[in-house]
A and B are shown apart, each in its own frame.
Chain A
Amino acid sequence: MTAPLDVSGEELRATPEAVAEAAGGKAIQGRSLGQIAWMRLRRDKVAMTGGIVVIFLILVAIFAPLIVDWFGHPPNEFHQEMIDTNTLGPKGGTGITKDFLFGVEPVNGRDLFSRVVYGSRISLLIAFLATLLSVVIGTVMGIVAGYFGGWVDAVISRLMDIFLAFPLLVFALSLVGVLAQFETNLAVQGDTLRILLLIFVIGFFNWPYIGRIIRGQTLSLREREFVDAARSLGARGPYILFREILPNLIAPILIYATLLIPSNVLFEAALSFLGVSVQPPTATWGGMLAAAVKFYTMPHFMFFPGMAIFITVLAFNLFGDGLRDALDPKSSR
């Protein structure tokens, strides 16, 4: 630590905020842990930028139809008047005009801007719901294994090992293929079925990662005094699990959920790239990349969906890192 008068952002992070604020001459106020964390987060400019981008992306996904209405064309609408039939590429190289902000796709002239905007819906929807699924399963399994220990722990831990060793990509590829055979017999079909399937595949097989972390945290929490106190007052398992231990796990759950989202975005993009995703013509970022490979002489086709994936993953990672620092300042960077 340098001189105490050198009050930089880094210093503030390392000193108790309440004291630092008090030194400014304001009335001393009690602050909750959440308030303190929020204050720390606000001072982390990188994380805040990430967070703003994340909120922006979520808004884009939610309001995609409105955005496309104002700035683009329906995502599946052909604009063959934009295409040079000799080269199959857009007239003038990319087709970027004020009507087509990102230019048009080769061959069919679909508006790339609209497709990138609509692609965010599939990417974020699947990434969020898959994350939610793995967090719920992982938390329940982790907390049960960690708290009860013994044979319960042994069974759940082995189960985690099995899931982690599962050849997920191969499974995903074949599952979608096999399912197509029985599609007509199922309650949901088409894109809805495929989105549900992707959420299941991505979410269900990723729970052991968060499960292990929660199990470890629970192992140390269950030995703490407040748990002993609750137990001596006659509290039973479920009460202790969900009212005493779980609230103390909110921070790690939040942190790992935020960091799991970008990896799920990437996984969804990879599956779309391999063709295991919603059916065309519905736009996905991975699917657009796969199509763009055939047209590598027209790089704008690859650039925009690629940038969309890049920005999304980067924003979530930066925000997640910042969130971890804010919630858990003791952790080493």
Chain B
Amino acid sequence: MKMRSALVVSAAGAVLALGLSACGGGTTTNNSGGGGGGGSEAPAAQPTYNAGLEAVVNPSTKKGGTMHMAISEDWDSVDPGDTYYGLSWNLLRIYCRPLTTYNPAPGNKGNEVVPDLAQSLGEHSADFKTWTYKLRPGVKYEDGTAVTSKDVKYAVLRQLDKTTFVNGPTYFNDWLDLPKDFKTVYKTPDVNTDQAIETPDDSTIIFHLNKGYGGFDNFAALPATCPVPQAKDTGIKYREHVVATGPYMFDKVQTGKQYTLKRNPNWDKATDPIRLALPDAYQIDLGVEANDLDNRLIAGDLDVDLAGSGVQTAQIATVQGDPNLKARADNPTVARTWYMSILNDNPPLDNVDCRKAIIDGADRVGLQTAYGGPVAGDIADGLMPPMIGGWKKLGLYPTATGDIEKAKADLQKCGQPNGFETIITFRSDRPKEQAAAESLQQSLAKVGIKLTLKGFPTSEYFSSYAGKPAYTKANKIGIATNGWGADWSDGFGFMSQIVDSRVIREAGNYNLSVKSPEIDGLIDQAFAESDTAKRDAIWGQIDQKVMEGAYVLPEVWSKGLLVRGKDVTNTFINNAYQMYDYLNMGKTS
């Protein structure tokens, strides 16, 4: 998954949900009642530091008010078929209803998939290749027309067109059993696609996959399953007026500037067990200066920092230092690792011991400080973050502050006793990565490894520099700062794009350094394994192999420092999005 500056593009999927659905065998559990309205059923909490991690802060069912949200830039799109930001997947549920979604509840409950537009979770065939959902009766669009399963089918098919909708994930493209002659809904509208998605009647939809997958309910929770009426689809322009099925509909859309939403008169609470729909309206401001946004959030002028990635560096000290403010903050762990790829193309880094010298010599406490200190993340000792299934503490490089003796021994073993010189790249518009590169330069200088720093703009970092093997080889790049967040909170969703050597292309790579046939073999094993526990164990093993081969220097497992809005009710961290759940927030005034 591509990451853009401050926005955290973490997304759906949850290990627990995968576990439940995969182990459930042939039976399907009807969870329709289990969603729970945020305030009424979940445990309440005093507004203290980290209270929102395990409980709902300020539970309330009071209606009214305008929810004022803001974000420092813009995100890809409000079109549910064209978006890949976690914040967007979280937010769009106020105006559209996917087949399933993540339980709006704090703690581990947030990882559970619950039915939304569908009456229950999917019923699957024994080989997990066929998945059937029944739609709830009485769900209507904002104009009063009834939602049918054909609209869901159309919505899923239209977003397969990745030349029109460039942003979204490609899971349906990769897994649906599509006919060969099907291109897009616009180019080949007449091709019969029943072999991929069947709609025998207006309330039933059946997905046919090309290979079995036990966690399909996570796919059904993708925004792509939000129904789109074919008559109203205007392709890329649909984002200017998304037709609502949720409790709110777009009022005014000013692209790149502001969205306002009002109540959808045709949304019926009787069809929707999970939404409370408390505020009367939403106002979402785009392009608000980041530091200004933090100040307004703290002052109570804004209710929600939509990006959900936490306050800026300048405010970390303020929030930490003021007890009243700290009581309004949460510090959730995110499925994201900041790390450095150690490129093994050029000598002496083609030698594993030389790579180990870098990891052993690195002061990882200094690196943690560079990313913002303990509040911004825990010191990582592997690539995979702890919340991913199969994670285990590796302990291969135990001294976090840099072990000079061990690093020198590594250098001796690799035949470079006096150290060597190499180049480290970083994204020049990211001060934290620059600070990390500077920190590494300082700590490695002590063992004789001399680093030269080279910064490149984020927009071209992977396409022209660090992610382009021709460039890194010719320019003798040895280390590249990097970072990755999970699409999906399991080994598949986190690791597959960054450790598989077969995904490496000419340019635009995110896997910069892990090239090992042994690891590739393990990845194939993990794909083929149907048992979740065994599959997770293989991903854990892959993590260990990555560290044994010293392909990456892990820095931190990321955390965010989020501040709860002053007048906001029903605030809690949803573990599926690792930010505040936007579904059921309300206002006290």
**CB proximity to A under 8 Å, residues B298-316:** 312-316
Residue of B with least CB distance to A78: B442
**CB proximity to A under 8 Å, residues B343-377:** 365-366, 369-370, 372-375
> Of the candidates B291, B316, B434, which one forms a contact with A87 in the assembled complex, judged by CB atoms under 8 Å apart?
B316
| Interface status of A89 (Cβ within 8 A of chain B) | yes
Once the chains bind, are A88 and B313 in contact (CB under 8 Å)?
yes
Instruction: For the complex, give the distance between the alpha carbons of A280 and B427 in Å.
Output: 12
Residue of A with least CB distance to B452: A190
Q: Which residues in A have their C-beta under 8 angstroms from that of B431?
A: 291, 294
Distance in Å from the Cβ of A153 to the closest Cβ of chain B? 43
Give the number of chain A interface residues (Cβ < 8 Å). Answer: 28
Instruction: Tell whether A294 pairs with B320 under 8 Å between CB atoms, given A108-B435, A280-B434.
Output: no
Once the chains bind, are A295 and B313 in contact (CB under 8 Å)?
yes
Interface centre among B317, B320, B370, B455 (most CB of A within 10 A): B317
Instruction: Tell whether A297 pairs with B318 under 8 Å between CB atoms, given A107-B370, A291-B431.
Output: yes
Q: Which residues in A have their C-beta under 8 angstroms from that of B429?
A: 275
Q: Which residues in B have their C-beta under 8 angstroms from that of A297?
A: 314-315, 317-318
Distance in Å from the Cβ of A275 to the closest Cβ of chain B? 5
Distance in Å from the Cβ of A56 to the closest Cβ of chain B? 30
Bits for A275-305, please: 1 = Cβ < 8 Å to B, else 0. Answer: 1000111000000000100111110000000
Instruction: For the complex, give the distance between the alpha carbons of A275 and B312 in Å.
Output: 20
| Interface status of A32 (Cβ within 8 A of chain B) | no
Bits for B438-473, please: 1 = Cβ < 8 Å to A, else 0. Answer: 110110000000001111110000001100000100
| Interface status of B398 (Cβ within 8 A of chain A) | no
Q: Which residues in B have their C-beta under 8 angstroms from that of A76?
A: 438, 441-442
Once the chains bind, are B366 and A86 in contact (CB under 8 Å)?
no
Distance in Å from the Cβ of B206 to the closest Cβ of chain A? 52
| Interface status of B474 (Cβ within 8 A of chain A) | yes
Q: Which residues in B have their C-beta under 8 angstroms from that of A87?
A: 316-317, 320-321, 373
Residue of A with least CB distance to B375: A86
Instruction: For the complex, give the distance between the alpha carbons of A78 and B318 in Å.
Output: 24
Q: Which residues in A have their C-beta under 8 angstroms from that of B365?
A: 80
Once the chains bind, are B372 and A108 in contact (CB under 8 Å)?
no
Once the chains bind, are A275 and B455 in contact (CB under 8 Å)?
yes
Once the chains bind, are A296 and B438 in contact (CB under 8 Å)?
no
Residue of A with least CB distance to B460: A177
| Interface status of A77 (Cβ within 8 A of chain B) | yes
Once the chains bind, are A78 and B316 in contact (CB under 8 Å)?
no
Once the chains bind, are A86 and B455 in contact (CB under 8 Å)?
no
| Interface status of B437 (Cβ within 8 A of chain A) | yes
Instruction: For the complex, give the distance between the alpha carbons of A24 and B219 in Å.
Output: 100
Instruction: Tell whether A88 pairs with B442 under 8 Å between CB atoms, given A275-B429, A295-B314, A296-B314.
Output: no
Interface centre among A108, A183, A279, A280 (most CB of B within 10 A): A280
Bits for A146-188, please: 1 = Cβ < 8 Å to B, else 0. Answer: 0000000000000000000000000000000100110110000
Once the chains bind, are B291 and A86 in contact (CB under 8 Å)?
no
Residue of A with least CB distance to B319: A87
Chain B facing A: main interface SS: helix
Once the chains bind, are B316 and A180 in contact (CB under 8 Å)?
no
Interface centre among B314, B452, B454, B471 (most CB of A within 10 A): B314
| Interface status of A83 (Cβ within 8 A of chain B) | yes
Instruction: For the complex, give the distance between the alpha carbons of A87 and B314 in Å.
Output: 9
Q: Which residues in A have their C-beta under 8 angstroms from that of B434?
A: 280
Once the chains bind, are A279 and B374 in contact (CB under 8 Å)?
no
**CB proximity to A under 8 Å, residues B382-437:** 428-429, 431, 434-435, 437
Once the chains bind, are B369 and A281 in contact (CB under 8 Å)?
no
Instruction: For the complex, give the distance between the alpha carbons of A78 and B443 in Å.
Output: 9
Distance in Å from the Cβ of B469 to the closest Cβ of chain A? 15
Instruction: For the complex, give the distance between the alpha carbons of A181 and B475 in Å.
Output: 9
Distance in Å from the Cβ of A91 to the closest Cβ of chain B? 12
Q: Which residues in B have their C-beta under 8 angstroms from that of A108?
A: 366, 369-370, 435, 438-439, 442
Instruction: For the complex, give the distance between the alpha carbons of A88 and B365 in Å.
Output: 12
Distance in Å from the Cβ of A71 to the closest Cβ of chain B? 21
Once the chains bind, are B313 and A280 in contact (CB under 8 Å)?
no
| Interface status of A49 (Cβ within 8 A of chain B) | no
Bits for A83-101, please: 1 = Cβ < 8 Å to B, else 0. Answer: 1011111000000000000
Chain B: interface residue count, which band?
Answer: 35 or more
Once the chains bind, are B372 and A88 in contact (CB under 8 Å)?
yes
Q: Which residues in B have their C-beta under 8 angstroms from that of A86?
A: 317, 320, 373-375
**CB proximity to B under 8 Å, residues A83-125:** 83, 85-89, 107-108
Residue of B with least CB distance to A191: B452
Instruction: For the complex, give the distance between the alpha carbons of A273 and B427 in Å.
Output: 16
Q: Which residues in A have their C-beta under 8 angstroms from that of B453?
A: 279-281
Instruction: For the complex, give the distance between the alpha carbons of A275 and B456 in Å.
Output: 10
Q: Which residues in B have their C-beta under 8 angstroms from that of A184?
A: 474-476
Q: Which residues in A have their C-beta under 8 angstroms from that of B452?
A: 190, 279
Instruction: Tell whether A181 pairs with B464 under 8 Å between CB atoms, given A83-B369, A87-B320, A281-B441.
Output: yes
Residue of A with least CB distance to B320: A86
**CB proximity to A under 8 Å, residues B459-501:** 464-465, 471, 474-476
Residue of B with least CB distance to A287: B434
Q: Which residues in B have their C-beta under 8 angstroms from that of A85?
A: 369, 373-374
Q: Which residues in A have their C-beta under 8 angstroms from that of B317?
A: 86-89, 297-298
Instruction: For the complex, give the distance between the alpha carbons of A108 and B363 in Å.
Output: 12
Distance in Å from the Cβ of B421 to the closest Cβ of chain A? 12
Instruction: For the complex, give the distance between the alpha carbons of A214 and B113 in Å.
Output: 78
Distance in Å from the Cβ of A62 to the closest Cβ of chain B? 26
Distance in Å from the Cβ of A111 to the closest Cβ of chain B? 13
Once the chains bind, are B454 and A279 in contact (CB under 8 Å)?
yes
Once the chains bind, are B374 and A77 in contact (CB under 8 Å)?
no
Instruction: Tell whether A294 pairs with B313 under 8 Å between CB atoms, given A88-B369, A107-B369, A108-B439.
Output: yes
Instruction: For the complex, give the distance between the alpha carbons of A89 and B454 in Å.
Output: 26
Q: Which residues in B have their C-beta under 8 angstroms from that of A298?
A: 317
**CB proximity to A under 8 Å, residues B532-554:** none
Distance in Å from the Cβ of A214 to the closest Cβ of chain B? 39
Once the chains bind, are B456 and A180 in contact (CB under 8 Å)?
yes
Once the chains bind, are B373 and A294 in contact (CB under 8 Å)?
no
> Of the candidates B438, B465, B476, which one forms a contact with A281 in the assembled complex, judged by CB atoms under 8 Å apart?
B438
**CB proximity to B under 8 Å, residues A282-332:** 291, 294-298
Distance in Å from the Cβ of A37 to the closest Cβ of chain B? 47
Q: Which residues in A have their C-beta under 8 angstroms from that of B312?
A: 294
> Of the candidates A77, A180, A291, A294, which one forms a contact with B454 in the assembled complex, judged by CB atoms under 8 Å apart?
A180
Instruction: For the complex, give the distance between the alpha carbons of A78 and B373 in Å.
Output: 15
Q: Which residues in A have their C-beta under 8 angstroms from that of B457?
A: 177
Residue of A with least CB distance to B318: A297
Once the chains bind, are A88 and B439 in contact (CB under 8 Å)?
no
Instruction: For the complex, give the distance between the alpha carbons of A73 and B367 in Å.
Output: 21
Once the chains bind, are A107 and B435 in contact (CB under 8 Å)?
yes
Instruction: Tell whether A88 pairs with B291 under 8 Å between CB atoms, given A108-B369, A181-B464.
Output: no
Instruction: For the complex, give the distance between the alpha carbons of A181 and B507 in Å.
Output: 14
Q: Which residues in A have their C-beta under 8 angstroms from that of B439?
A: 78, 108
Q: Which residues in B have their C-beta under 8 angstroms from that of A88?
A: 313, 316-317, 369, 372-373
Q: Which residues in A have their C-beta under 8 angstroms from that of B442?
A: 76-78, 108
Once the chains bind, are B366 and A78 in contact (CB under 8 Å)?
yes
Q: Which residues in A have their C-beta under 8 angstroms from that of B464?
A: 181
A-B contact pairs, 30 of them (CB 8 A): A76-B442, A77-B442, A78-B438, A80-B365, A85-B374, A86-B317, A86-B320, A86-B374, A87-B321, A88-B313, A88-B316, A88-B372, A107-B370, A108-B366, A108-B438, A177-B457, A183-B475, A184-B474, A190-B452, A275-B429, A275-B455, A279-B452, A279-B454, A280-B434, A280-B437, A280-B455, A296-B291, A296-B314, A297-B315, A297-B317
Starting from the known contacts A180-B465, A280-B434, A295-B313, 4 additional A-B residue pairs (CB-CB under 8 Å) come to A76-B438, A88-B373, A177-B457, A184-B475
**Ordered nearest first, which 8 A-B pairs have the shortest CB separation?**
A87-B317, A85-B373, A281-B438, A78-B442, A297-B314, A86-B320, A294-B313, A279-B453
Binding site for A on B (CB under 8 A): 291, 312-318, 320-321, 365-366, 369-370, 372-375, 428-429, 431, 434-435, 437-439, 441-442, 452-457, 464-465, 471, 474-476
